[in-house]
Amino acid sequence: MLHNTARIRLAAAAAVAVLGALAACSTAEPAPGWDTGWMAAPQLPSIGFEPNWAQDGFDNHTVRQVVRVTDGGTAARITLSNQYGTAPLRVDNVTIGRIAEGAEVEPNSLRQLTFDGDAATAIPAGATLTSDVVDLDLDAMDSAAVTLYLPERTGPATFHSQAYATTYRAAGDHAADPSAGSFTESTHSWYYLTDVQVSGDAVDEGGTVVTMGDSITDGYGSGYDANTRYPDWLAQRLADAGTPRPVLNAGIGGNLILNDSSWFGEAAVRRFERDVLTKPDVTSVIVFGGLNDIGFSEIDLPTYKPNPQVSVAQLIAGHRELIAAAHRAGIRVTGATLLPMKGAEYYNDVSAAKIREFNQWMRTSGEYDAVVDFHAAVADPVDPEALNPVFDSGDHKHPNAAGYRAMADKIDLATL
């Protein structure tokens, strides 16, 4: 057997060889026609509903994150966000490649990413940074791994809490290591990574669709590593129909239309520009939100804050702000009815009446360019106040994967 020192020397030599090959794959000039193939909306560090690394941050760790792009290309770049950091974020080594299985990356696809030509960079607190371009073939619906080496203590990390995808961590620098062996820890959140952009594929037409919403857009109840959120199903429907387009998920679990939350992100009316309007080539957005604005005030739990009483008129006013912002940007905007939730912790006579009133406005006002009736797609045909049992993830509020597919199937693709 090799002595530990010899093993370390061999591993170091291999890593240097891989890094040399990776650097040779980079390209200085971006290809024309960028699309965002994948995105996640950044959030303040918080403890979340299951263990994550956001509040503790990282120190001499490598973080490998798996994302699925809904548009392909021959070149790629990423954006990292230190929006909620309190100090500069040092990143010493970043790679991207096609995922093989679990935390394993296809070795011949692994590329080193640089920032203004350097492998190491520091992102100021409150800032974002986009990488240089690398040549990388990605097809629509491919899963890619973005791996960051974070050499020093980061402090609390800007992240996306509810990824419903596995993120892996290793001690030390393993960004250029395609194997999975060193990645012995995992969570279900994304860290610092907000965008994977692709270029060089002229197949998609019609521009990018962004889905804006809360946990039902984020994918709660859809399962881990399954890509069965409603935006995932929508992207697949568009591809199957011969009209492939990037579909981006700008959902944040627990998000509110009108109020900021330390757990659940900035209000939709405040993050709309960042998460929708600044993405390249966006032509259509689906707005689906308000259940939390209505429901938080009906239950007194520490996580469901702020929870002021929100009237239907106030909620409609928030939606009108989003409609106006989209129209100023020349973006077509589709509204969605709120789902039934009888039996959920939010449900009572007050919240049920508000949902009915809001959905009536959504269906009849004509203020949105189009409307998708998600309520009708998943309601119990016997009791429309409740989710159809075949679509219920178990909490009577969030659909399961089949429910999310029914929602995506309800969208008239021509209205997008």
pLDDT tens-digit series, residues 149-195 = 999 999 999 999 999 999 999 999 999 999 999 999 999 999 999 99
Statement to judge: residues 280 and 310 lie in one domain: yes
Look at residues 272, 269, 398, 416 and name the one whose alpha carbon lies nearest to residue 345. 398
Statement to judge: residues 193 and 215 lie in one domain: no
| Residue type at position 115 | F
User: Which percentage of the chain shows pLDDT scores above 70?
Assistant: 91
CA dist., res. 18 & res. 151, Å (int):
19
Q: If phi over 0 gives left and psi between -120 and 50 gives alpha, with beta otherwise, what is residue 65?
A: beta
Mean pLDDT to the nearest integer, 9-20? 35
Residue 9, in any domain of the structure: no
Residue 15, in any domain of the structure: no
Contacts (Cβ under 8 Å, ≥6 apart) of 240: none
Residue 28, pLDDT > 90, answer: no
pTM > 0.85: yes or no: yes
Statement to judge: residues 156 and 81 lie in one domain: yes
Residue 27, pLDDT > 60, answer: no
| Tokens coding 129 | 């940074």
| Residue type at position 281 | D
Last residue of a domain, one of 180, 197, 214: 197
Q: Domain total for the chain?
A: 2
- Give pLDDT, residue 202: 55
**Digit-coded pLDDT (tens) for 378-397:** 999 999 999 999 999 999 99
- The CATH number of residue 243's host domain is 3.40.50.1110
User: Which percentage of the chain shows pLDDT scores above 90?
Assistant: 88
Residue 8, pLDDT > 80, answer: no
Residue 97, in any domain of the structure: yes
Q: How confident is the model at residue 300 (pLDDT cuts 50, 70, 90)?
A: confident
Residue 337, pLDDT > 70, answer: yes
Residue 3, in any domain of the structure: no
**Digit-coded pLDDT (tens) for 340-361:** 999 999 999 999 999 999 999 9
Last residue of a domain, one of 197, 220, 236: 197
Q: How confident is the model at residue 30 (pLDDT cuts 50, 70, 90)?
A: very low
CA dist., res. 382 & res. 329, Å (int):
42
Mean pLDDT to the nearest integer, 126-141? 98
Statement to judge: residues 233 and 382 lie in one domain: yes
Residue 2, pLDDT > 50, answer: no
Residue 347, in any domain of the structure: yes
Domain that holds residue 54: 22-197
Residue 6, pLDDT > 80, answer: no
Statement to judge: residues 239 and 173 lie in one domain: no
Statement to judge: residues 314 and 298 lie in one domain: yes
Owner of token pair 């291999």: 14
Q: Which of 1-10, 69-78, 150-159, 177-186 has the lowest mean pLDDT?
A: 1-10
**Cα radius of gyration (the chain):** 22
Residue 204, pLDDT > 60, answer: no
Last residue of a domain, one of 197, 230, 257: 197
Residue 7, in any domain of the structure: no
Mean pLDDT to the nearest integer, 310-318? 98
Residue 10, pLDDT > 70, answer: no
Statement to judge: residues 134 and 242 lie in one domain: no
Statement to judge: residues 185 and 40 lie in one domain: yes
Owner of token pair 């857009």: 217
Statement to judge: residues 132 and 225 lie in one domain: no
Statement to judge: residues 369 and 305 lie in one domain: yes
| Tokens coding 344 | 């959920």
Residue 309, in any domain of the structure: yes
Residue 176, in any domain of the structure: yes
Statement to judge: residues 212 and 147 lie in one domain: no
Instruction: List beta partners, residue 65.
Output: 146, 167
β-pair type (128-130, 73-81): antiparallel
Statement to judge: residues 310 and 193 lie in one domain: no
Contact 38, 70 (CB under 8 A): yes
Contact 206, 239 (CB under 8 A): no
Three-state DSSP string of the chain? CCCHHHHHHHHHHHHHHHHHHHHHCEECCCCCCCEEEEECCCECCCCCCCCCCCCCCCCCEEEEEEEECCCCEEEEEEEEECCCCCCCEEECEEEEEEEEECCEECHHHCEEECECCECCEEECCCCEEECCEEEEEECCCCEEEEEEEECCCCCCCCEECCCCCCEEEEECCCCCCCCCCCCCEEECCEECEEEEEEECCCCCCCCEEEEEECHHHHCCCCCCCCCCCHHHHHHHHHHHCCCCCCEEEEECCCCCCCCCECCCECCHHHHHHHHHHCCCCEEEEEEECCHHHHHHHHCCCCCCCCCCCCCHHHHHHHHHHHHHHHHHCCCEEEEECCCCCCCCCCCCHHHHHHHHHHHHHHHHCCCCCEEECHHHHHECCCCCCCECHHHECCCCCCECHHHHHHHHHHCCHHHC
Mean pLDDT to the nearest integer, 210-231? 98
- Give pLDDT, residue 7: 31
CA dist., res. 376 & res. 360, Å (int):
12
> What average pLDDT does the chain have?
92
